[in-house]
Structure 1
Amino acid sequence: MQHSRPPASHQRALDWLNFFLADVRDGLGPYLAIYLLAVHHWQPASIGLVMSLAGIAALLAQTPAGALIDRTPAKRAVVVIAAVLVTGSCLLLPLLSSFGAVALTQTVSALAGSVFAPAIAAISLGITGPKAFTARVGRNETFNHAGNACSAMLAGGLAYLFGPVVVFYLMAVMTVASVLATARVPAAAIDHQLARGLVHGPGAVDQPAGFKLLLHNRTLLLFAVCCALFHLANAAMLPLVSQKLSQIDLNLATPLTSACIVAAQLVMVPMALLVGAKAEHWGRKPFLLAGFLILPLRGALYVVSDNPFWLVGVQLLDGIGAGIFGALFPIVVKDLTEGTGRFNVSLGALTAVFGLGAALSPGIAGLVVQAAGYDAAFLTLAAIAGAAFMLVLLALPETHPRTSPSSLPSPAGT
């Protein structure tokens, strides 16, 4: 099977799948809090607990989800079932009001949503093969960010006209569209051996390597630490900016925050395209350094001024850092696991690690705000981001397979 240049129809199907799935894969996200507060008049503590339970469930499910995608040949079916479960769980919300029922639906949604990232990565790798994977990931992220921006604008406009419940029906429309896009991806086009990180050719093995091989891969473990620090520094920045905007001008806080999210997603589109086009030629590390350097700069720039438009302008830098990181993440994991057959489980495990960093970030930032104020919190996050940048600069090697030897021993030797 040739994988150097997949047919244009396969590429377009993956494009539309990433575009429509962007609204589905994260569930309701921040709209859940708005809905529960505005419609059911829940207390903030109850809303936070529901979202925390869903977040913990998603963290715990990441690695098993990756293992499932590694093993199953029914990857398209997994995507469809997960999309239906996420949307079904959200469509039930208008019929439910008790804490237990809402918590259950959002936990199911989080568990189902954990399969999307490894499934999309696996289908893409299985269709393109490792040589064309970098360019494909760039396209995936481009259409994902474009879909997020489009759905956010639609959600904001429709919710203003018809109320917050309309967000559920928008997600249902996107789910139907993503199911149709999945059906356009031919099952026969997916090489399931390539999709899990095994390779064809002389000396290739047909069985996946043992998990000990991954645990002994120091570069993979170091990359996991870098990812965790990146999200530990990054996740709390937008919530802190939103809180500062609320203190400065409550009427401007929500529209400016929404505009910031949409604009950042639009900035991520060219960043993802750039990574997809140039990471094969320039290598991975220059992009990683650029993405990691943006983060401490953002944290430091927030303390320069309290002007709302300055804060929003600085937040737009998130589109550069997160856009680069999002596109490079599966590419680096592919580099470090190629030939092991453990690509998707490694992707899931590292997603869980940086998800833990993201989960801890708001709590740490909140404690610093309470003790020393917002400027101290931004500078603390900037210091964490600076440590992550130095780790990438000094310790993380280039992972491009043509420019550095693999850090993995041969799977045949396990």
Structure 2
Amino acid sequence: MQSASRSRLTNRSLVALAVLNFFLADARDGLGPFLDGFLATHGWSPMTLGLIATLGGILGMIATPLFGAWVDASLRKRMLIVIPVVLVTAAALWTLASPDNASVFGGQSATAIVGAVIGPALMGLTLGLVGERHFSRQVSTNEFWNHAGNVVSLAGIYFATIAFGLNGIIGLMVLTAAATVLAVFAIDPAQIDHQVARGLAHDDGAPGPSGYSVLVGSKGLILLAVTLMIFHFGNAPMSRLIAQDFSIQLGTPFRTTAITTGVSQLSMIVMALAAPFLIRRFGLASVFVIALLALPIRGAIAGSFSSFAVIFPVQILDGVGAGLIGIATPIAAERILSGTGRFNVGLAAVMTVQGIGASLSNVVAGWLTNIGGYGLAYWVHGGVAVFAVVAFFAGYKSIAPAQKNDIGEVDALAVATP
């Protein structure tokens, strides 16, 4: 089934998938990394910004598993990307036009809820198009175009702000949302295998397990979720804090955030290009280890230096850590859940658990910043990732099983472990 799925793909659908990931980079998160810098220069405190991020995280956490099950069952996966993109863009424009309590809390709450469906929908769409065998490479390709789109968007925002101010930002948001919608509709729905998209490439006709049973009964999925929860508790607030810190220092929230985020996105592009080789040569488990170890180093550097130049090594390491984790996570979930028919709900459950860590971290980061400054928050959140490394090594063979196929992947950790 998988080879047939791949062979009947037209260039149009693959090109459209690349274009979708390119423009979705900007359209899926609304203001995204610019929100904190924008609101910080309008007098919003780190603690309040942390509460906003936490609220959004909780709402997204509640919605994500429900949307994952919806993606598994839906035969209209394209619309599960189009509708959220339109709503997220509208919420972002509302916040820009009037950054008061109603628009910020209301807009970000709406963004968190409807945006939670985009991740599972995109992964299901990708798996349904290319099949299980090619999924690992296609995830890396998706991430390459996603980060490339982010870099172009950040450069566009930087120059649009200089030339047109806030109107330039608004114009770019509308443009990227429209391009995303057009790219989605350019994908041929007839080429999406909805059975493969939910992890039933090897369907034997037996009834599939319920969503809850496959989640609770999968040791690898539980350990993956716990590892990522710890990692994201440490990682989630770091870029937000850096954006706040230097936006306040320099007084240029959009341009400063464009630079800091652009560095990490360029690093993520390199990671997306390197990931297929790293997975094939050293195994998925080794890629996880590299990603997890990047965060403690990042926190130590950010906590030790305060000059603007520090953003370069710090954000490069963000690209290594978050970039590789973003690629490795859906690949691991697909391997763990292969044949269950619950890939999307399983991936959504992992995203929910990691969202718990990310949501809690925002309030903690705000509190740490209030009592000890940004340096204290960097040290604490970077140090937390050490526990993620420990959790991963406790069950890495279940979290990141090697793929036994003709690609020839090896498990470097298994070779090195007696």
Q: TM-score, normalised by structure 1?
A: 0.86
Alpha-carbon distance in structure 1 between the residues aligned to 2:237 and 2:107: 26
- Which residue matches 1:161? 163
- Which residue matches 1:334? 334
Counterparts of residues 276-315 of structure 1 (less than 5 Å): 276-315=276-315
Counterparts of residues 182-197 of structure 1 (less than 5 Å): 182-197=184-199
Alpha-carbon distance in structure 1 between the residues aligned to 2:34 and 2:246: 19
Counterparts of residues 110-125 of structure 1 (less than 5 Å): 110-125=112-127
Going from structure 1 to structure 2, the CA distance change for 1:110 and 1:306 (only over 3 Å counts) comes to closer
Alpha-carbon distance in structure 1 between the residues aligned to 2:302 and 2:96: 39
Alpha-carbon distance in structure 2 between the residues aligned to 1:42 and 1:250: 14
Give the conservation status (yes or no) of the 8 Å contact 2:260–2:311. Answer: no
Give the conservation status (yes or no) of the 8 Å contact 1:50–1:106. Answer: yes
Alignment-mate amino acid for residue 28 of structure 2: R
Alpha-carbon distance in structure 1 between the residues aligned to 2:23 and 2:224: 30
Going from structure 1 to structure 2, the CA distance change for 1:165 and 1:252 (only over 3 Å counts) comes to closer
Alignment-mate amino acid for residue 75 of structure 1: K
- Which residue matches 1:365? 365
- Which residue matches 2:261? 261
Alpha-carbon distance in structure 1 between the residues aligned to 2:37 and 2:382: 29
Alpha-carbon distance in structure 2 between the residues aligned to 1:396 and 1:105: 39
Going from structure 1 to structure 2, the CA distance change for 1:303 and 1:176 (only over 3 Å counts) comes to closer
1:367 to partner: Cα distance: 3.4
Alpha-carbon distance in structure 2 between the residues aligned to 1:172 and 1:243: 25
Give the conservation status (yes or no) of the 8 Å contact 2:21–2:146. Answer: yes
Alpha-carbon distance in structure 2 between the residues aligned to 1:386 and 1:303: 16
1:233 to partner: Cα distance: 0.9
SS at match of 2:166: coil
Alpha-carbon distance in structure 1 between the residues aligned to 2:298 and 2:73: 41
**Identical residues among aligned pairs (%):** 34
1:358 to partner: Cα distance: 1.5
Give the conservation status (yes or no) of the 8 Å contact 1:257–1:312. Answer: no
Q: TM-score, normalised by structure 2?
A: 0.86
Q: What runs of 5+ residues in structure 2 fail to find an aligned partner? A: 411-418
Deviations 1:257-296 (A, max 9, x none): 4312101101101211222344245321010011111111
Give the conservation status (yes or no) of the 8 Å contact 2:13–2:188. Answer: yes
Give the conservation status (yes or no) of the 8 Å contact 2:72–2:342. Answer: yes
1:171 to partner: Cα distance: 1.6
Going from structure 1 to structure 2, the CA distance change for 1:278 and 1:52 (only over 3 Å counts) comes to closer
- Which residue matches 1:179? 181
Q: Choose which of 27, 31, 35 in structure 2 pairs with 1:28.
A: 31
Give the conservation status (yes or no) of the 8 Å contact 1:368–1:376. Answer: yes
1:387 to partner: Cα distance: 1.3
1:20 to partner: Cα distance: 0.9
- Which residue matches 1:250? 250
SS at match of 1:198: coil
Going from structure 1 to structure 2, the CA distance change for 1:259 and 1:287 (only over 3 Å counts) comes to same
- Which residue matches 2:274? 274
Going from structure 1 to structure 2, the CA distance change for 1:281 and 1:7 (only over 3 Å counts) comes to farther
Q: Choose which of 129, 135, 138 in structure 2 pairs with 1:136.
A: 138
Alpha-carbon RMSD across the aligned residues, in angstroms, is 2.8
Going from structure 1 to structure 2, the CA distance change for 1:43 and 1:28 (only over 3 Å counts) comes to same
Q: What runs of 5+ residues in structure 1 fail to find an aligned partner? A: 405-414
Counterparts of residues 23-172 of structure 1 (less than 5 Å): 23-32=26-35, 43-44=44-45, 52-93=54-95, 99-100=101-102, 103-172=105-174
Going from structure 1 to structure 2, the CA distance change for 1:327 and 1:57 (only over 3 Å counts) comes to same
1:251 to partner: Cα distance: 5.4
- Which residue matches 2:383? 383
The answer to whether 1:235 aligns with 2:272 is no
Give the conservation status (yes or no) of the 8 Å contact 1:303–1:375. Answer: yes
Alpha-carbon distance in structure 1 between the residues aligned to 2:274 and 2:14: 18
Deviations 1:371-404 (A, max 9, x none): 4555443332232111111222343214224289
- Which residue matches 1:410? none
- Which residue matches 1:217? 218
Ranked by relative contact order (alpha carbons within 8 Å, sequence separation 6 or more), the top structure is 2
- Which residue matches 2:355? 355
Aligned pair count reads 400
Alpha-carbon distance in structure 2 between the residues aligned to 1:310 and 1:179: 37
- Which residue matches 1:408? none
Alignment-mate amino acid for residue 340 of structure 1: T
Give the conservation status (yes or no) of the 8 Å contact 2:128–2:192. Answer: yes
1:256 to partner: Cα distance: 4.8
